[in-house]
Structure 1
Amino acid sequence: MTVEDLEKEIPGLIEYTETMPEEIRKKAFVKVCPPGKLIHQKDCELQFFGIVAKGENRVINEFENGKIYMIETNRAIDFIGEVTILAEMPRTSVTIEAVTECTVIYISRKDAETWIRNDQHILRLMARRTAFKLYRSSYNNGLKLYYPPTFLLADYLVRAYEGSLSEQTDAVFPENGAFILQKIRERLSEELGMNIKTLDRTIRSMQKNGYFNLTKGKISFGYEEYIKMKEFITTAKG
């Protein structure tokens, strides 16, 4: 697969690749990363800059004791390595893992720096994307420190429900119209910044209070429960 093939398949990608110099385009290569594959490893020398054309990835921070803190999830179209390049640092600061199958266009760091230095269009796109992530992080900063686990889980479920509605993901909404969260407990624990015991206790408590049901161990709920969680969040905030 080539960059041109991806541009035909994903027209929105052209905004990101239209000003790529021809000599760099010829050397670019496309790689498909399966779910769970590490796209970007913390503390490694950045050798390639990437443009994620398809798929969803998660940004995590790994610590020496084996603990993982999930910073955010990002969906295409996205960049890989842009923060390291803009900061002019040699090594990466985070690990990026494919959540779904990700298709990434790779170019060497040297070529990327040349392109960015000479092209304000790609620089503006990178700056906009970086600023969006910073804005999102700043907006939610402190949430996990000052709200109880029930609030954090309700807030997560409401956002997941709304996101799935906007995407109209049929796989998430079976025939009975219930939303089913397709996440294992370990992944949910990482994303919420909550240990497994606390998460299990929170799930049991919220299930008992009628916020959702468990379907084969997975959280499921409908529109009425969604509204109930929205009201709970509003009350908790104010």
Structure 2
Amino acid sequence: MTLTELEEKVPALKEYTKTMPPEIRSRCTVRTHAAGSIIHQKDMELNYFGIVATGENRVINEFENGNVYMIEGNKAIDFIGEVTILAGMPRTSVTIEAVTDNVVAYISRKDAERWLSEDMNILRLTAGHTAFKLYRSSYTNGAKLFYPPSYLLLDYLVRYGRQNGMESTRPPKSVTVGRTRQMLQEEIGVNVKTLNRTIRQLKEEGFFNICKGKLSFTREQYRMAMDWLESAKDK
């Protein structure tokens, strides 16, 4: 697939590529990362810059003791390598894993640095994305230290529901969280035993159902979780 073909498939991408210099565009390649694959690994030398046209990925930090910390989840349209490039660092600071199939338009780091230095449009978009991620993480930073597991899980479900249309004018009847227990553990930041115990407890209280091993909740359960979170904040 060429960049032009990808733009036709994903019209929103044109806002990001409309000012790409022709010679850089001619060197652009399109690649698909299958769900579950690693897009880039922590501490690898970064030689490219990517624009994620479709798909969802998650940013994780891996430690030498084997523990994995989930930093954030991102949906297209997004960037790959922008933080490393804007920071002027040679190597990546995180691992990015594809949650669903990711289709990414790639250019070399050299081309990206030139484009970012010459074009205010792409610089504004990448800087805005980076600032939004920092704002989002700063807004919730510390919650895992001070809130109980029940709060963390319900807060996660509410945010997941919001991202998947529960606040839209025509919300879905139900939303199923497409995450394994291992992924939930990493994203919420609690150990497996605590997570499983919390899931059992909240399921018994009616906050969600279990469908083929995945957490699923209706709009009524979504509202119930929101009310619980609001009351918990006042305690």
Report how far residue 162 of structure 1 moved: 2.3
TM-score, length of structure 1 as denominator length: 0.93
Which residue in 2 is equivalent to 1:21? 21
Report the Cα distance in structure 2 between the residues aligned to 1:28 and 1:195, rounded to whole angstroms: 42
Report the Cα distance in structure 1 between the residues aligned to 2:167 and 2:57, rounded to whole angstroms: 17
Report the Cα distance in structure 2 between the residues aligned to 1:218 and 1:24, rounded to whole angstroms: 43
Matches within 5 A, 1:74-223: 74-165=74-165, 177-223=173-219
Report how far residue 121 of structure 1 moved: 1.2
Give the secondary-structure state (helix, strand or coil) at the position aligned to 1:42: coil
Are 2:32 and 1:36 aligned? no
Report the Cα distance in structure 2 between the residues aligned to 1:89 and 1:216, rounded to whole angstroms: 43
Q: Which runs of 5+ in 1 are unaligned?
A: none
8 A contact 2:166–2:219 mirrored in 1 = no
Question: Residues 66 and 136 from structure 1, CA distance in 2 versus in 1: closer, same or farther, beyond 3 angstroms?
Answer: same
Matches within 5 A, 1:216-235: 216-235=212-231
Which residue in 1 is equivalent to 2:4? 4
Report the Cα distance in structure 1 between the residues aligned to 2:94 and 2:179, rounded to whole angstroms: 22
Instruction: Give % identity.
Output: 59
AA in 2 matched with 1:188:
L
Report the Cα distance in structure 2 between the residues aligned to 1:121 and 1:206, rounded to whole angstroms: 46
AA in 2 matched with 1:231:
D
Q: Which runs of 5+ in 2 are unaligned?
A: none
Structure 1 segments (4+ residues) deviating >3 Å: none
TM-score, length of structure 2 as denominator length: 0.94
Question: Residues 167 and 76 from structure 1, CA distance in 2 versus in 1: closer, same or farther, beyond 3 angstroms?
Answer: farther
> What RMSD in Å do the two structures reach over aligned CA positions?
1.8
Which residue in 2 is equivalent to 1:63? 63
Report the Cα distance in structure 2 between the residues aligned to 1:167 and 1:2, rounded to whole angstroms: 36
Report how far residue 74 of structure 1 moved: 0.5
Report the Cα distance in structure 2 between the residues aligned to 1:190 and 1:21, rounded to whole angstroms: 40
